[in-house]
Structure 1
Amino acid sequence: GKVAVVGQDADIGSCQKIAEGTQLMTVYKPIARLAARAAELAVIIANGEEPIPDLYVDNRSGSMIPFFMEEPKSVFRNNLDSSVIRDGFHSAEDVYRNSPTPVKK
């Protein structure tokens, strides 16, 4: 049988393998969105305020840990262009370097 190969962080090697069809998918965490949210939170903290978390997570130590949610994206062969390439995380030239033709959805 076949085993689906998946990964996370949308590194260039994984994206190339997805384009080639040898990896099913990767998880992409949009850097610009993460950086913008981190900057917003840093400004709040620098102003002496406490940011309001999206929710709290119980880490089983008796402490409730503030959690700030950012939605990751699943990247498959049919959405490479509309995710990592559109966001400028990787260039189309780099992603499709080993593939004869870019796959369009």
Structure 2
Amino acid sequence: MVQHELPASARVGTGSPVRTCVGCRERAQTVDLLRIVVGEHGPQGAVLVPDPRRRLPGRGAWLHPTADCLSLAERRRAFGRALRVSGKLDTSAVDRMIDPLEKNRHKHS
């Protein structure tokens, strides 16, 4: 079996795997990103759910837990592509989780 070495640009530190933020498109370790999954499909479209423990089933999209990255991902319609869903996406649950994290980070800066 042939093992391939990742290029240096793909290795960001050691330990946890590296993923790309769907908002800013920067690569980061999974511990620094928030996993987002499709929770349910309703009449209003798909509901996106934050998965901070990274345990929920289904395809996941990765996002820096910042309002800027969430806004970029929504503007670029990146969640639909990353999660392979079409139609309207409800990101209110993600927004509710990111808002306190953002306020907490600014308080400690």
With normalisation by structure 2, the TM-score equals 0.28
User: Bigger radius of gyration, 1 or 2?
Assistant: 1
Structure number with higher relative contact order (C-alpha < 8 Å, ≥ 6 residues apart) = 1
> Higher strand fraction: Structure 1 or Structure 2?
2
With normalisation by structure 1, the TM-score equals 0.29
